Amino acid sequence: MISLLEFRNVCKGYPKLSVPVIDGVSFKIEQGERIVVLGASGSGKTTLLQLMGLLLRPDSGNVLIEGEDVQDWSESKRSRWRNQNLGYVFQDFGLIPELNLVDNIELPLRIAGLRTSGLDGMKFLSEVDLCGREKAFPAEISGGESQRVAIARALVGHPKLILADEPTGNLQGQQGKQIAELFKRLQVKLGFTLIVATHNEDLIELLDAKTWILSGRLTKST
């Protein structure tokens, strides 16, 4: 079976650092998996997600998408793959203040040049349990609700892969738990692959996920 995503001895560093942030990382990720990448601040979690999402190129090693080495992909091909297959959830939500919730959710569709009517936005607003809030603006909702909208925005294009970078980092305990439970429910229902990078060990149990521990190198603990 061809893996959705594969790394082969991938390394990535930055000029001001004496050692690679990502150092010889290899793995395979299959469609429909849930994985938590656990690591402290500065351990390389964000860099790893950016490599997975083709936002960065490795210094050495190979990244394969569904069996195809992406080393020679142009930036336009990388961008096209991201638009069609990837959803990204950030710690800081990233909602546009001037857009209502439905328009925020449908923004990736518009960027991709697709027509929107509000129906997709309302459908995914319902998926994240925010029915009736479609006309609200980001300033009018809580942090937990903002992250629900961000998740809906990531899902609206029906991606194969969701990358979530510290998705509960700006939320209080109960709100973070609710977001983790929402992620798990939607992943089971929709079947996308979910990769969550976090320092919060509680997410491992809440998501019932495989665990990778990252500190430059990657250790698979479960």
Name the 3-class secondary structure at 29. Answer: strand
Indicate if the pLDDT at residue 77 is higher than 80.
yes
Report the predicted TM-score, pTM, of the whole model to 2 decimal places. 0.93
The pLDDT value recorded for residue 91 is 85
**CA-CA distance, 65 to 86, in Å (whole number)?**
12
In a domain, 172, yes or no: yes
**Cβ(194)–Cβ(35) under 8 Å?**
yes
Name the 3-class secondary structure at 101. Answer: helix
In a domain, 118, yes or no: yes
pLDDT tens, residue by residue, 2-53: 999 999 999 999 887 778 899 999 999 999 999 999 998 888 999 999 999 9
**Cβ(19)–Cβ(13) under 8 Å?**
yes
**CA-CA distance, 96 to 85, in Å (whole number)?**
22
Residue with tokens 């790394």, as numbered in its chain = 7
The pLDDT value recorded for residue 113 is 87
The pLDDT value recorded for residue 217 is 84
Least confident of 13-27, 85-99, 132-146: 13-27
The pLDDT value recorded for residue 221 is 63
The pLDDT value recorded for residue 41 is 85
The pLDDT value recorded for residue 190 is 95
- Find the domain containing 147 and state its range: 31-50+72-220
Cβ-Cβ contacts under 8 Å for 4 (sequence gap 6 or more): 29, 30, 31, 65, 66, 160, 161, 193
**CA-CA distance, 65 to 150, in Å (whole number)?**
25
In a domain, 121, yes or no: yes
∠ CA 214-203-65, rounded to 5°: 55
- CATH number at 99 reads 3.40.50.300
**Strand 193-198 to 34-38 pairing:** parallel
For residue 9, the Cα-to-chain-centroid distance in whole angstroms is 22
The pLDDT value recorded for residue 181 is 94
Residue with tokens 């936002």, as numbered in its chain = 55
**Cβ(68)–Cβ(95) under 8 Å?**
no
**Pairwise pLDDT comparison (41 vs 128), residue with the higher score:** 128
Indicate if the pLDDT at residue 222 is higher than 70.
no
- Domains contained in the chain, number: 1
DSSP state of 104: H
User: DSSP letter string over 110-153?
Assistant: HHTT----SHHHHHHHHHTT-TT-TT--GGGS-HHHHHHHHHHH
Mean of pLDDT values over 148-163? 96
The pLDDT value recorded for residue 172 is 81
Indicate if the pLDDT at residue 219 is higher than 90.
no
**Cβ(213)–Cβ(35) under 8 Å?**
no
**CA-CA distance, 161 to 138, in Å (whole number)?**
25
CA atoms within 13 A on the CB side of 7: 24
Least confident of 7-11, 106-110, 214-218: 214-218
pLDDT tens, residue by residue, 156-215: 999 999 999 999 888 888 898 999 999 999 999 999 999 999 998 989 899 999 999 988
